[in-house]
Copies of this chain bind each other. A is one copy, B any other.
Amino acid sequence: MSTPLPVTDRTRFTRYRERQVTDRPALYDVLDHALVAHVAVVRGEGEQAVAAVLPVASARDGDSLLLHGSTGAGLLRAAAEGRTVTATVTVLDGLVVARTVFDSSMNYRCAVVFGVPVVVADDEKEAALRVLSEHLVPGRWDEVRRPTRRELAATLVLRLPLDEASVKVRADGPDEDEPEDRGVWAGVLPLHTAVGAPRTGDDVPAGVPVPASVPAAADRLASWTPPYR
């Protein structure tokens, strides 16, 4: 059994407490079904403090979340200064269509991770990039050449420990506060990821086949359908 997520001042819900989930597998489930995390870094001081937010490719690696930080100057600074960042991942699972607008809602899985990012060291960078690549397009890593030394040097990967995180899940049908007109339909419109036909790059010569990783990635994404209780 894994240890449950500790509930801290930062992760304790003040509303919808029944949606708070503290088991680690639930956290893994959210992170493993998302391709992008929104990373928020505080910039400025006092009244001027504001959150800068960036979407970055993410992948879970055991008990940490890897973040592809090539665009993340703010992330790098946070890591250097030991400042806490917030990585948020939301999987939207459905529109909950109740008999009233008031009770209408969404089904979703959301994880909010608080932590100090650590820059992945040079000798671990290739392995970390492999985890990211295999999360996004499994199998692609072995179809292409390995990253060069120059490419690795130009890439920033950050590791965020999964020590402090909140997980919120709604995975249910409509639920009205008051009994409503039973002649009105209510239900859920499930949402997941649709994958279109692969679009071959303009400079790919005719006859170069679509590699196995691409339909496999499409099938995997399309299989990420919503959970229901």
A interface with B by C-beta (< 8 Å): 10, 14-16, 35-36, 38, 40-43, 45-47, 49-53, 55, 57, 70-71, 73, 83-86, 88, 90, 92, 94-95, 97, 99-102, 104, 106, 108, 110, 112, 114, 129, 133, 136-137, 140-141, 143-145, 147-148, 151, 154-155, 173-174, 181-205, 208-211, 213-214, 217-218, 221-222, 225-226, 228
Q: Which residue of B lies closest to A45 (CB)?
A: B46
A35 to B93, CA, bound (A): 11
Query: How far is A70 from B14 in the complex, measured between Cα atoms in Å?
Result: 11
Copies per assembly: 2
Give CA–CA (A201, B163) in the complex, Å.
Answer: 37
CB-CB under 8 A for A196 and B185, given A50-B10, A90-B38, A104-B137:
no
Distance, CA A50 to CA B188, complexed state (A): 35
Query: Shortest distance in angstroms between A124's beta carbon and chain B's nearest beta carbon?
Result: 16
How many angstroms between the C-alpha atoms of A202 and B175 in the bound complex? 10
Q: Is the CB of A53 within 8 A of B88?
A: yes
Whether B38 contacts A38 by the Cβ 8 Å rule is yes
